[in-house]
Amino acid sequence: MIRVESLSVSFGRVQAVREVPFHVAPGEAFGLVGESGSGKSTVLGAIAGLIQDWSGTISVAGQPQGRRRDKAFHKRLQMVFQDPYGALHPRHVVDRIVGEPAAIHGLDEVGARVEKALGEVGLGPAFRYRYPHQLSGGQRQRVAIARALILEPEILLLDEPTSALDVSVQAEVLNLLARLRAERGLTYILVSHDLAVIAHMCDRLAVMRDGRVVEEMGVEELRAGAPREAYTRRLLAASRGYDRAAAEGFESTT
Amino acid sequence: MSAQALLAVEDLRVSFATATGVVEAVRGVSFTMGRERLGIVGESGSGKSMTGRAILGLVPPPGRVDARRLEFDGIDLTAAGSKRRRALRGRRIAMILQDPNYSLNPVITAGRQIAEAYRGLSRAAARERALGMLEAVRVPDPERVLRAYPHELSGGMAQRVMIAMMLAPGPDLLIADEPTSALDVSVRVQVLAILDDLVGRGRMGLILISHDLGLVASFCDRVLVMYDGRIVESCRASELESARHPYTRGLLAARPRIDGPGGELPVLDRDPAWRDAPGVCGAP
Amino acid sequence: MKALDDRSAGSFSAGPRAWLMAEAAGSRRQARLGRWYAAWLVFRRNPLAVTGLAIVCGLIVVALVAPWLAGHSPIEQNLQARLLPPGGGHWLGTDALGRDIFARLVHGARITLLIVALVAAIAAPVGLIMGCSAGYFGGWVDAVLMRITDVFLAFPRLILALAFVAALGPGIENAILAIAITAWPPYARIARAETITIRTSGFIQAARLQGASASRILVGHVVPLTSSSVIVRVTLDMAGVILTAAGLGFLGLGAQPPVAEWGAMIAAGRQFMLDQWWVAAAPGLAILVVSLGFNLLGDGLRDVLDPKHG
């Protein structure tokens, strides 16, 4: 569904992504995990066409992509952003936020589509004419997901969709994303710094560091706690909580 | 706890008068602590940060703080004037915030900000101490960091400078509000190791405020779980996994796990009765 | 879904207030009006701002009903009744040509309002379009647009207005044009700064990802967010605009006689300043009050629309 080969992105003199390859099969959930500055969100931006200065090959659904993307591309691929507070226009009501993509693409019966999309993310009609400031973080993220779904895309790029949310709200949003994927056969690329979220949601994952893919593996290997690379093993240890030994391990390499 | 407690809080309340009535952010929090690592966990809006701010006397207006007892090392904070509290703040009680960029002055070098704590000393001596402090928080190349402005530092480095700055006067109590949430996991464990070293020697009490149950369970000695402005459960950190309160258990279950079973995550069902039910205590 | 909230949409029969304050609006229009009502509730708490609003509203009302309010013709001369003091048939006395000062003042409100409205209507949109485009596109578009802005910003307002009027001939239209041309650059700078801060935000990225065109993003997403700062600034600038217009009128380069214009009225009254002070004082006071009104209103609007700069 998505094939990325030797993707490199540089901002000025800084090389954010170096020669990254991966492919994602239709219906698969693929995780990109790494720390800040590892280039994982940049990869997502390049695939989505939000970042222009990349080189290499990106093909989506068999079609090689250039700098500019056409409307058909946007119908096929949508994205959910990290910050639920910055991702919704503060002066637009939910109805407009969710309906905007349908209006851009000239779809008919926008009102009915908005209602349906909101229903699918568990927001009733009472939310339709609210402003973002009247919503909680979890509700905002549901609105962002509804906005991404209204064009009925096949691929959803998820950039840290729950990192700004409380644990209990995160569980609700992750459940929603898992259900939507099962129901619609969506393909996901999920970017996160949280190995547990990746392990819960994805089939396969790539670990990124300093713009490169350090390791690619199936989620079973991660669950079994047996990554090949030392860096991944340290990330795994660190994500399990505070551990003196883990701290010393990081100390010696950074 | 005896009269030796470093901090004693009894029936602490923080309320805000808004246009639509009085909102209580903290509703009767009581605990005592010594020179130990105390964790306060809860979700956003649980009142955990406001509790920390109330102890420091940093509740923003129009917030109102009431307490039957608020004692730090034998000093009655409720009776202390704002001048006295300002003197305590920084010297004896320090606070670390989530985002170091809010607390570091962007136009003053890191070195001078740390040296603020040594105002009585000569410039060279203060600089020497600041350098020592940066070494204590394991900053590689402390000479460079001393001369650097905050924007020239990475997030992890800025947080270390912040910790160095807060710890320079040698406080007895450190309140750390989500000190590592903005940091990467690998940097996070290093910053925690620094705090661990400093508290582990029994010189200082630490209140670690966090939303991360795993972190608090693995780092602290004791944990208070806050919900809706109250402490619903207090237990030893090592026993958090076997918590008894349905809220705590719900939070624990809602976390995705690397070695978890997959499938639906249990969603927390909030019981309105939790609002006023008495808190549970783990085995002493 | 337990997150569901089914508070009623607030029917209008329950009173307009309940309808406006409804947590869950039933239409986009109700939601928008509700937002404005909430802003009004904040605005209303500031007595100075309400005073400013009252003054500006008063100006508009006076301008609308001027012919009925005036009582006398603003241009009809009566040399037998020159320089009469206030009182009697003439509330504020008469000027050197025996014209009723109150009538001229009231009709002058029309000129002032015309100037203010036209300057705002020309300068604000130009500033918004220039600033938002420069900020959104960046690169060479930004460089070109902002250098143009700098050129206009470098002209002293009154001097440029003078040059303009000297070239095109005196008259109220040319004065308005001259003021508008010097007024927009600060708005462009404000709009550009605001645009740069929101350009990288999630909702703009999302709009791009939906395939929205640049013009759609600018008009539908960027302008609504930048316009409130510009509106505040425009309101605060209106006092200066009125003063510039009055200055041009005073120098004889604005509205031409016999049109009643406050600046020109002061100019005409200055010869009699010591003996017949009311001739110059009445329009002077009018300028003062209206300028103050716009400033107070602007401050109040800033608190409501733009709390971060408060």
Distance, CA of A150 to CA of A116 (rounded, Å): 8
Instruction: Show the tokens assigned to C197.
Output: 């801060």
**Which residues on chain C are in Cβ contact (under 8 Å) with A122?**
1, 3-4
Distance, CA of C202 to CA of A82 (rounded, Å): 8
Q: Do the Cβ atoms of C23 and A131 come closer than 8 Å?
A: no
Question: What is the predicted pLDDT for the residue at A248?
Answer: 66
Stretches where chain A sits below pLDDT 50 are 252-254
**CATH code for the part of the protein at A2-253:** 3.40.50.300
For C31, the closest of A70, A74, A93 (CB atoms) is A93
Q: Confidence class of residue B206 from pLDDT cuts 50, 70 and 90?
A: very high
User: How near does any CA of chain B get to the CA of A109, in Å?
Assistant: 33
Distance, CA of C12 to CA of C22 (rounded, Å): 10
Surface-to-core class of residue C200, CB atoms within 10 Å of its CB (0-12 exposed, 13-18 middle, 19+ buried): exposed
Highest mean pLDDT among A195-199, B87-91, C173-177, C306-310: A195-199
Question: What is the predicted pLDDT for the residue at C309?
Answer: 44
Q: Confidence class of residue C47 from pLDDT cuts 50, 70 and 90?
A: very high
- Mean pLDDT over B54-59 rounds to 87
Distance, CA of B198 to CA of B234 (rounded, Å): 24
Q: Which residues on chain A place their C-beta less than 8 Å from a C-beta of chain C?
A: 48-50, 69-71, 73-75, 78-79, 81-83, 86-91, 93, 95-97, 100-101, 104-105, 122-124, 126-131, 134, 138-139, 144, 147, 151, 172
* Residue of chain B minimizing CA distance to A239: B185
C94 bridge partner residues: C100
Reported as a single tens digit per residue, the pLDDT across B222-248 is 999 999 999 999 999 888 888 889 999
* Residue of chain A minimizing CA distance to B260: A200
* Residue of chain A minimizing CA distance to C226: A91
Reported as a single tens digit per residue, the pLDDT across A59-101 is 999 889 988 888 889 999 999 988 878 899 998 999 999 999 9
Distance, CA of A230 to CA of A249 (rounded, Å): 10
Distance, CA of C289 to CA of C301 (rounded, Å): 18
Distance, CA of C198 to CA of C207 (rounded, Å): 12
Distance, CA of C16 to CA of A229 (rounded, Å): 65
Query: B7-92+210-281 adopts what CATH topology?
Result: Rossmann fold (3.40.50)
Percent of chain B scored above 70 by pLDDT?
A: 97
**Which residues on chain A are in Cβ contact (under 8 Å) with C221?**
89
Query: What average pLDDT is seen over chain B?
Result: 84
Tokens 């206009």 -> residue: C152
Distance, CA of B256 to CA of A170 (rounded, Å): 9
Question: Which amino acid is residue B173, in one-letter code?
Answer: L
- Give the CA angle between residues C118, C123, C125 to the nearest 5°: 105
DSSP for residue B44: T
Contact B185 A193 (CB under 8 A): yes
pTM above 0.80, yes or no: yes
Contact A144 C207 (CB under 8 A): no
Question: What is the predicted pLDDT for the residue at B41?
Answer: 93
Contact C9 A104 (CB under 8 A): no
**Which residues on chain A are in Cβ contact (under 8 Å) with C35?**
131
Tokens 């402390």 -> residue: B142
Q: Do the Cβ atoms of A7 and A20 come closer than 8 Å?
A: yes
H-run or E-run covering B166? helix B155-167
Domain boundaries, chain C: 46-309
* Residue of chain C minimizing CA distance to A169: C3
Q: Report which of B37, B7, B31, B6 is spatially closest to residue B219, judged by C-alpha positions.
A: B37
Domain boundaries, chain B: 7-92+210-281
Q: Report which of B218, B144, B140 is spatially closest to residue A251, judged by C-alpha positions.
A: B140
* All chains having 3 or more CB pairs closer than 8 angstroms to chain C: A
* All chains having 3 or more CB pairs closer than 8 angstroms to chain A: B, C
**φ/ψ of residue C284, rounded to 5:** -60, -45
Q: CA neighbours within 13 Å on the CB side: how many for C241?
A: 33
Tokens 């009104």 -> residue: C293
Q: Which residues does C62 contact at the CB level (< 8 Å), separation at least 6?
A: C69, C106, C109
Surface-to-core class of residue A77, CB atoms within 10 Å of its CB (0-12 exposed, 13-18 middle, 19+ buried): buried
Contact A36 B219 (CB under 8 A): no
DSSP for residue C218: I
Instruction: Show the tokens assigned to C23.
Output: 């947590």
In CATH, the architecture of C46-309 is: Orthogonal Bundle (1.10)
**Which residues on chain C are in Cβ contact (under 8 Å) with A75?**
211
Tokens 């700064």 -> residue: C193
Contact A35 B185 (CB under 8 A): yes
Distance, CA of A186 to CA of A28 (rounded, Å): 8
Please say whether the dihedral angle defined by the alpha carbons of residues C80, C86, C87 and C90, taken in this order, is positive or negative: positive
Distance, CA of C38 to CA of C36 (rounded, Å): 5
Distance, CA of B205 to CA of C175 (rounded, Å): 71
Q: Confidence class of residue C294 from pLDDT cuts 50, 70 and 90?
A: very high
Instruction: Show the tokens assigned to B129.
Output: 């101490």
Inter-chain Cβ pairs, chain A and chain B, closer than 8 A = 108
Contact A90 C35 (CB under 8 A): no
User: How near does any CA of chain C get to the CA of A252, in Å?
Assistant: 37
Reported as a single tens digit per residue, the pLDDT across C8-44 is 445 556 677 778 877 777 788 888 888 888 888 888 8
